[in-house]
Chains A and B, each alone.
Chain A
Amino acid sequence: MRTALATIVVLFAGAGLLWQATDEARAFTTEGARRLAVSESPRPVPSLVLQDHTGARFSFDRFAGKLLVLDFIYTGCADLCIVADNTLQTIRDSLPEARLGNDVVLLSISFDPLRDTVHQLAYYAKRHGARAEHWPVSRPSDADRLPALLSAFGVTVIPDRREGFQHNSAIYVVNREGFLVAIFDYDDPEAVLSFLERQ
């Protein structure tokens, strides 16, 4: 009898704990938890000065009133970033012309500002056909601000053994008021497009 009671208590407490710990069985990985947290409580993007591939400097405020679709990259990247930027390319090509640049702006931010010089960014932008007015390829102007930026977006970057990085790649949407509101898979332009359509 005691055993039955104790077992029931343990199982109920355990189930409750696991329910809580997985956001009601909706997120089992840090990545899943991050997306859920962002969609339920949008978070402000830190103010920060970026420098784009033409050398121009600007802050996030420049995008106020527009929807911002962004990803984090480094130009030496050979896999995820390329897929993520192909996704941005697809989004750009599928958006109505009236929206692109006026209502929706794309943005790539390098998390390797030391090696990604303006020259390097320009080369990368050219490869993806990114134009500064609707798709600046940029880096934080002040490398010291990078950790705060990455942590606000929940990006974990770790150097790999081949001079590159491993990072959780995704497509982020910042709303017109400057809040990060949604995170999408890096290879799913359709999901981003249908989200943008509803905004």
Chain B
Amino acid sequence: MMRLTTAGLLLLGTLAVPSTRAALEQSMPGHMLLQIPLLVLSGLWLASGLPSGVKRPFQRANSYGVTGLALIVVTALFWMLPRHLDAALDEPAYEAAKFLMLPLFVGLPLHLSWGRLTAIGRGLVWSNLVAMLWVLSWLYLAAPVRVCNNYLIDEQTLVGRLLLLLGFLIATVLAVRPFISSSPASEQSP
């Protein structure tokens, strides 16, 4: 567990290094599909090493993981808006906020909440994730204008295609898994 926390810290540190930041933020797919998920992952890893004494007060107000899920949805909505991607590139305050909010308000509550969600809750999360990826994909492929002023339109199209593909992958895994897995309830905690 401690090892995962160290890995989380290392990942966050690596992502914050100016040259890594520049490399990932240089393109829209790098920014949206690598940096942002990795920031979430670093928070997830960080949280897994927290002693239970620290987690307990949070968990008292987090039955069935509902509060954590609400926090994740709100934060994800905020960072899904194209203007905030632009803002993170143009204004250091937004960039700092991104590096704090994604690990702390998405990664950490994901760790705290996932194990507490019911099977229906998890199903809801997965299906909404797929739906959201496809809606975003459709938006990026169909938008007649660039949604981000800092990125080229070809990249926007590429991101649209990748989101579509990612949605298909997740949907396929979800659909196929019940037929291979020995017990459908044996879901891994992320």
B62 touches A29 (CB 8 A): no
Given contacts A10-B71, A14-B74, contact A30 B87 (CB under 8 A): yes
Inside 8 A of A102's CB, which chain B residues have their CB? none
A21 touches B66 (CB 8 A): no
List residues 148-185 of chain B with CB under 8 A from any CB of chain A: 148-153
B74 touches A17 (CB 8 A): yes
How many Å lie between the Cα of A51 and that of B146 in the bound state?
30
Q: Which of B64, B78, B145 has most chain A Cβ within 10 Å?
A: B145
List residues 1-19 of chain A with CB under 8 A from any CB of chain B: 2-3, 5-7, 10-11, 13-15, 17-18
Interface string of B34-78 (1 = CB under 8 A from A): 000000000000000000000000001111101100110111011
Inside 8 A of B75's CB, which chain A residues have their CB? 14
A2-B60, A29-B147 known, 14 other contacts, Cβ within 8 Å: A3-B67, A6-B61, A7-B66, A15-B74, A17-B78, A18-B74, A18-B77, A18-B78, A27-B83, A30-B82, A30-B86, A30-B148, A30-B149, A158-B151
How many Å lie between the Cα of A28 and that of B139 in the bound state?
13
Q: Is A141 an interface residue (CB 8 A)?
A: no
Interface size on A, as a range, is 20 to 34
* A168 touches which of B62, B74, B82, B146 (Cβ 8 Å): B146
Q: Is B2 an interface residue (CB 8 A)?
A: no
Inside 8 A of B82's CB, which chain A residues have their CB? 28-30
Inside 8 A of A5's CB, which chain B residues have their CB? 61
B149 touches A156 (CB 8 A): yes
Inside 8 A of A29's CB, which chain B residues have their CB? 81-83, 86, 147-149
A11 to chain B, nearest CB (A): 5
Given contacts A5-B61, A11-B74, contact A32 B83 (CB under 8 A): yes
B78 touches A21 (CB 8 A): yes
Chain A contact surface mostly: helix
Q: Which of A7, A29, A31, A158 has most chain B Cβ within 10 Å?
A: A29
- A13 and chain B: residue at smallest CB distance: B74
A22 touches B81 (CB 8 A): yes
Given contacts A29-B148, A30-B87, contact A10 B67 (CB under 8 A): yes
Inside 8 A of A10's CB, which chain B residues have their CB? 67, 70-71, 74
* A6 touches which of B64, B67, B83, B148 (Cβ 8 Å): B67
Inside 8 A of B63's CB, which chain A residues have their CB? 2-3
Q: Is A166 an interface residue (CB 8 A)?
A: yes
Q: Is B31 an interface residue (CB 8 A)?
A: no
Interface string of A143-172 (1 = CB under 8 A from B): 000000000000010101000001010000
Inside 8 A of B83's CB, which chain A residues have their CB? 21-22, 27-30, 32-33
A166 touches B152 (CB 8 A): yes
B169 to chain A, nearest CB (A): 27
- B71 and chain A: residue at smallest CB distance: A10
B124 to chain A, nearest CB (A): 15
List residues 124-160 of chain B with CB under 8 A from any CB of chain A: 145-153
Interface string of A28-45 (1 = CB under 8 A from B): 111111000000000000
Inside 8 A of A32's CB, which chain B residues have their CB? 83
- A11 and chain B: residue at smallest CB distance: B70
B74 touches A6 (CB 8 A): no
How many Å lie between the Cα of A197 and that of B184 in the bound state?
67
B136 to chain A, nearest CB (A): 12
Q: Which of B73, B81, B83, B84 has most chain A Cβ within 10 Å?
A: B83
* A3 touches which of B62, B77, B78, B150 (Cβ 8 Å): B62
